[in-house]
Amino acid sequence: MEILNDSDSTLWGLPDPAAQSAFYDAVPTKRLLAFVVDLIVTVVIAALIVPLTAFIGIFFFPVLVAVVGFAYRVVTLANASATLGMRLMGIEFRTARGERFDLGMAVLHTGLFTVWCSIGLAQVVSVVLMLTTARKQGLSDLILGTAAINRPSIY
């Protein structure tokens, strides 16, 4: 894999899906597996928080999981442009310029992701887009000009 630079593309910093298809190989599958890993991590963190709420958190556990999940995604995306699940799968997010996410982009992407998860049809549309677009972009990615790619090799 080469350096992220594709000057002929509208999203000039993202790899060209035709010339550098290795960056997008199996990304939708890896995103699904990363989602499962991240959900497990989020539920475990939320469960560890429940005793700190004098066990009142049990009554609003889904809300607690959503809040923990939002914070978890923002922090991990802002620091490494990938959640723990994404790191395990060898993928990361990049902006249209090919840059890693900063805090602002992490908040925007996580916010849209949260909205799509809340609206079932929007999440289905997002998954269909990941399976059919050249850069394997979901709805949030298309709106923000981002993409999940296979982590570039440093060798």
pLDDT in tens, 37-85: 999 999 999 999 999 999 999 999 999 999 999 999 999 999 999 999 9
Distance CA 113, CA 99 (A): 19
Q: Which residue has the higher pLDDT, 155 or 83?
A: 83
pTM, two decimal places = 0.88
Mean pLDDT of the region 15-27: 95
Instruction: Specify the DSSP class assigned to residue 117.
Output: H
C-alpha span between 19 and 149 (Å, rounded): 14
Residue of 125, 147, 105, 152 whose CA lies nearest to 17: 147
For the chain, the average pLDDT equals: 92
Tokens at 30, concatenated:
């890896």
**Residue 3 pLDDT > 60:** no
- CA torsion, ordered 60, 68, 42, 99, to nearest 10 deg: 150
CA-based nearest residue to 84, from 67, 97, 101, 72: 72
Give the pLDDT band (50/70/90) at residue 34. very high
